[in-house]
Amino acid sequence: MSAPLRVAMIGHGFMGAAHSVGWRQAPAAFPLPAQPVMSTLVGRNADAAGEAAARWGWEETSTDWRDVITRDDIDIVDIVTPGDSHAEIAIAALAAGKHVLCEKPLANTVAEAEQMAEAAARAAASGIRSMVGFTYRRVPATTLMRDMIAQERIGAVRQVRASYRQDWLADADAPMTWRLDKDRAGSGALGDIGAHAIDLCQFVTGQSLRSVSGIIETLVLERPLMGESVGLSGTAANGRGRVTVDDVALFTARLESGALASFEATRFATGRKNALEIEVSGERGALHWNLEDMNALGFFDATRDAGEQGFTRILVTEPQHPYLSGWWPAGHMLGYEHGFSHQVKDLVEAISAGAQPEPSFDDGLRVQRVLDAVERSAAGGSSWTEV
């Protein structure tokens, strides 16, 4: 095993918890070529950062990310802050010679994402690696889907249907958060969860989206201010905050091959808690996956006798399935948190091998350009818009 890789995580909260579990569990599950060390957690509030560090197992805390990224004893910077700070932190960390893991979407704008991709390319020339955190690529069933499409098990891709549906904003009196402020989040359901559907489509098919036609809409224009949301931009005089991002995004797209795809991203799908779903139809069959049944992959083989056709449910828990060698006996299910351990595994292995980890900042930029094209299409009355 090579020298340890000391990690500083910038930000905490929900994604900080998920990333912390990944850093802690990956070395126990997989024989990594280098040991990641949970060195420093950085947060604006010293007390909150201290509580988070104690809970998740970080050695120390800081309130100054600029100081932390210059330290000689930090090797990897993990960014789990809101999108408005991704570019500044990532570019500075790469310039300081640190490997970078950045949560998705890569940035709030295409211009920021381009600057980040350029910084990553410069750093790569010196052996510094960067990766964006689209963790659903690392669910064993979606990786298997990618592999089966690449092996032409369903033939040429004809159509893709992808959606990400949640309902945590369905209550019009749910409080304002930074995720509803365009200055902080960049976009709403489109960027927050739609980015996952876009990346997953491009990942499993191996194709980029080349054009889109979409609509976006904000269903609730104001929400009550509570706690930290009081400081958000766009505060209304009545003690409520103005929602400045989309609640629902719907769009169609064409892949490089000309195949059609349809997408839905909403946080108003009453009864749907975390339903990321993708179905790929090909000339000889189809594949289907839903995050709410994440250990299973549906496979329809159109070459079988008509009397035997139907979707087969593949339970993706066998040791030969992607990532499963590090976990439990067959049939013992994995959960949401395991994707973050797989993310750490892939990042550490790539750094140790001197290879480019995936998804790269270029991949993140590709998604950012799709998000931008959907917004431009919606502004133009759902016209077809090149990515």
pLDDT in tens, 297-325: 999 999 999 999 999 999 999 999 999 99
Among the candidates 117, 135, 153, a domain finishes at 135
* Strands ordered across the beta sheet of 260-266: 312-315, 296-301, 285-290, 275-282, 157-165, 260-266, 248-255, 209-217, 385-386
What is the 8-class DSSP label of residue 136? G
CA distance 376 to 371: 9
156 and 101 belong to one structural domain: no
For residue 118, pLDDT over 60 is answered with yes
Residues 185-220 pLDDT 10s: 999 999 999 999 999 999 999 999 999 999 999 999
286 plus 352 within the same structural domain: yes
pLDDT band at 2 (very low <50, low <70, confident <90, very high): confident
DSSP states of 45-61 as a string? SHHHHHHHHHHHT-SEE
* pLDDT digit string, tens, across residues 67-98: 999 999 999 999 999 999 999 999 999 999 99
**Type of residue found at 92:** A
End-to-end CA distance of the chain: 43
The answer to whether residues 186 and 215 belong to one domain is: yes
The reply to whether 55 and 129 lie within a common domain is yes
Please report whether residue 387 resides in a domain. Answer: no
pLDDT at 234: 57
185 neighbors 194 (Cβ within 8 angstroms):
no
196 and 342 together in one domain: yes
Question: Domain residues for 222?
Answer: 137-356+366-379
Measured CA to CA, the distance from residue 292 to residue 51 in angstroms comes to 31
Integer Cα distance of 173 and 220 in angstroms: 9
What pLDDT does 231 receive? 58
- 310 is a domain residue: yes
pLDDT on residue 67 = 98
Same-domain pairing of 155 and 50: no
- Give the global pTM: 0.95
The total of structural domains in the chain comes to 2
Q: What is the pLDDT of residues 366-375, one digit of tens each?
A: 999 999 999 9
> Is 249 a residue whose pLDDT tops 70?
yes
In a domain, 104, yes or no: yes
Clarify whether residues 94 and 205 are in a common domain. Answer: no
* Last residue of one domain, picked from the residues 135, 161, 182: 135
Q: Are 115 and 368 in contact (CB under 8 A)?
A: no
Question: Using one digit for the tens of pLDDT, what is the confidence trace for 153-171?
Answer: 999 999 999 999 999 999 9
What mean pLDDT do residues 223-237 have? 67
pLDDT given at position 226: 80
**Whether residue 196 is found in the same domain as residue 315:** yes
Place of tokens 């052996």: 127
* 361, part of any domain: no
Closest CA to 149 of 330, 288, 323: 288
In this model, does residue 124 exceed pLDDT 80? yes
Confidence label for 239 from pLDDT (cuts 50, 70 and 90): confident
Planar angle of CA 368, 249, 279, nearest 5 degrees: 85
Last residue of a domain, one of 108, 135, 162: 135
